[in-house]
Structure 1
Amino acid sequence: MFPVKFAPVLFALLLSGMMSLIVSGIATYKHAGLSEAFGQLWINAWLPSWLIAFPVVMIVAPGARRIVGALVRKEAA
């Protein structure tokens, strides 16, 4: 288990990994179809995408949280 202070980094790591996996899979399928090389093509697209997505999520997430905070109603205590 990790200390709670690592929660934002772990969240960004998991979110960027899952999102880049899904998006690269869709893009690879649209480009190559379900060929024999699909798995290799997908991994080759996903890993560099994840390397870009992770720092982007780390940079963009605080702003996104602020925007969400401005868009939602505050609950009464």
Structure 2
Amino acid sequence: MNLRIPRRHGHFVFGVIQSGLTCLVAAGIASYPPSGAARFIEHWLASWLISWLTMLPVVFLAAPFIRALVNQLTRE
């Protein structure tokens, strides 16, 4: 890819890529059918906790690769 967006906009590029990855994983978890029609708040809090615990290592592992991709997509 050779978009070469100015580096000063790199934080926006990072945010777009990171939010896309985060939403991909979170949507997959949220789409998994619950075992029953549980109470909304309980289900929402459990889903959030599972999503957050899943995304934390994903963010830590993906961030260096996303930064490298941002550096390739942007220029000084």
Return 5+ residue gaps in structure 1 as ranges: 64-77
Return 5+ residue gaps in structure 2 as ranges: 1-7, 70-76
Structure with the larger RCO, 1 or 2 (CA within 8 Å, 6+ apart): 2
TM-score w.r.t. length of structure 2: 0.53
How much is the aligned-residue C-alpha RMSD, in angstroms?
A: 2.6
Tell me which residue corresponds to 1:20: 25
* Number of aligned positions between the proteins: 59
Q: Is contact 1:24-1:49 (8 Å) kept?
A: no
TM-score w.r.t. length of structure 1: 0.53
The share of aligned pairs that are identical, in percent, is: 3
1:45-75, Cα deviation, whole Å (9 max, x unpaired): 1111121222344456679xxxxxxxxxxxx
Query: Higher helix fraction: Structure 1 or Structure 2?
Result: 1
